[in-house]
């Protein structure tokens, strides 16, 4: 089964929106300019390796996900209690069972 490939520029724009950030807001978080973020989202440039790592941490995704090596978005459960993790797994399984 072929999955739709999403470019790095599209992922940054999508994840920025999911996190309620404007281009300026994201730029402030990674200590760059809004025009740099705009250039990434337009596909005119790409973030540095260091910035990709910062973006992955900020958005709670892996660098592999951002770069398209792994196209599955993952959710970090770091810092949650085992019971909370089980609750999340149950919700995910409910959505999977609907298909």
CB atoms within 10 A of CB 66: 20
The pLDDT-based confidence of 4 (bands split at 50, 70, 90) is low
In a domain, 97, yes or no: no
In a domain, 43, yes or no: yes
pLDDT tens digits along 75-90 = 778 888 999 999 988 9
In a domain, 36, yes or no: yes
How many structural domains compose the chain? 1
8-11-12 Cα angle (round to 5):
85
CB 34 within 8 A of CB 27: yes
pTM of the model: 0.72
In a domain, 2, yes or no: no
pLDDT tens digits along 64-77 = 989 988 877 677 78
Which domain covers residue 60, as residue numbers? Answer: 8-74
Q: What CATH number has the domain bearing residue 69?
A: 1.10.260.40
pLDDT tens digits along 18-63 = 999 999 999 999 999 999 999 999 999 999 999 999 999 999 888 9
Q: How many CA atoms lie within 13 A of 61 on its CB side?
A: 23
């Amino acid at each position: 089964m072929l999955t739709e490939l999403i470019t790095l520029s599209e992922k940054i724009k999508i994840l920025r929106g999911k996190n309620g950030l404007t281009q300026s807001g994201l730029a402030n978080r990674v200590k760059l300019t809004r025009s740099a973020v705009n250039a990434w989202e337009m596909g005119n440039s790409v973030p540095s390796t260091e910035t990709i790592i910062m973006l992955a941490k900020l958005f709670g995704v892996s660098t592999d996900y951002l770069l398209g090596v792994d196209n599955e978005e993952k959710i970090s459960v770091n810092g949650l209690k085992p019971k909370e993790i089980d609750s999340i797994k149950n919700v995910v399984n409910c959505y999977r069972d609907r298909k």
